Amino acid sequence: MPELPEVETVRRGLAPAMEGRAFDRVELRRPDLRFPLPQNFAARLTGRTIKTLDRRAKYLVARLDDGTALIMHLGMSGAFRIEGAKPLAALVHDTKKLAAHDHVVFSIGGARVVYNDPRRFGFMTLSPEATLDHHPHFRAMGPEPLPGALTPMHLATAFQNRKTPIKAALLDQRNVAGLGNIYVCEALWRAKISPRRLAGSLVRQDGAPSKRLEALTEAVLSVIAEAIEAGGSSLRDYVAADGSMGRFQHGFAVYGRTGDPCARVTCPGVVNRIVQSNRSTFFCPGCQR
DNA sequence: CAGTCCTCCTGTCGGC
DNA sequence: TGCCGACAGGAGGACT
């Protein structure tokens, strides 16, 4: 499910239920997700107040009042839902039946925040907030694809002499952090760049960004901004913690549209699906060069 | 080091 | 209807 716009949508949905409130109870229904949960995970959270719920790339980061940061990643199929936000519901929601793949249950300020993840590719861990930037998950991470953070020059530096296809380079979180398969495909289509083109070919001899790399940067920024605005994309499951659907999937030009005519009216091409590094790439060979 | 490939896990969908 | 393979929003780690 979650690339940056979906995680940001989740964050906005969870923040009112979590910020300024404390963990009353934490229940682990299995000892691990993708990785084992930290020792004493529930005990270390219980009683702590959440100062803020932030996002870095595809990670959620809850900053706690004791200087600990709770780091959460949704993997491919992770989702949160909020139950029983009303104070009087306290007796009810604690007995409400949990569903299959409900792995972590946070009781926070009279509500229940439940983490569900069928494939269990998600994970949670704890880190001192002071050293978050040095944490293995964040240490080598590139800038967010947001205005002011991501520039053509940054990408030029990252892509110079790189022989990997631009599709793979954009998915590499060390170059830009937060892009996934959907938005990379969409950005490349917007910029009319073939996913097979080598990343280094978008950098000028003198190391400056080419016009095409400037266009790609703009395409990444615009597609991410529009997707956040739309509440992300909902494919097989919901995105927001309140169960509401994202809308951006209706704006896909190429993702999942194999065989459709190119959305660019002047282009006679048809959307193709190829496989790159074992993942689907959707693009129009007519206009993406 | 750079680049490529596999893997973790479960659910769903299309084809025969 | 039932079975079986392909595929799914990610990313760490093991290869060459």
Q: Which residues touch strand C (CB under 7 A)?
A: A 1-3, 6, 34, 57-58, 73, 75-77, 119, 121, 137, 171, 173, 180-182, 232-237, 239, 246, 278-280
Q: Is the CA virtual torsion A239, A244, A247, A250 positive or negative?
A: positive
The one catalytic residue among A56, A58, A162, A190: A58
Integer Cα distance of A94 and A31 in angstroms: 21
Active site residue A97: no
Assess whether A120 (CB) lies less than 7 A from strand B: yes
Amino acid making up residue A171:
L
Q: Which residues pair with A82 in a beta bridge?
A: A113
Nearest nucleotide to A198, CA against C1' atoms: B3
Measured from Cα to the C1' atom, the residue closest to B1 is: A162
> Distance (Å) from CA A268 to C1' B6?
37
Nearest nucleotide to A59, CA against C1' atoms: C10
User: Model pTM greater than 0.75?
Assistant: yes
- Percent of chain A, pLDDT > 90? 90
In tens, the pLDDT along A192-223 reads 999 999 999 999 999 999 999 999 999 999 99
In tens, the pLDDT along A233-259 reads 988 766 677 878 899 999 999 999 999
Integer Cα distance of A289 and A275 in angstroms: 17
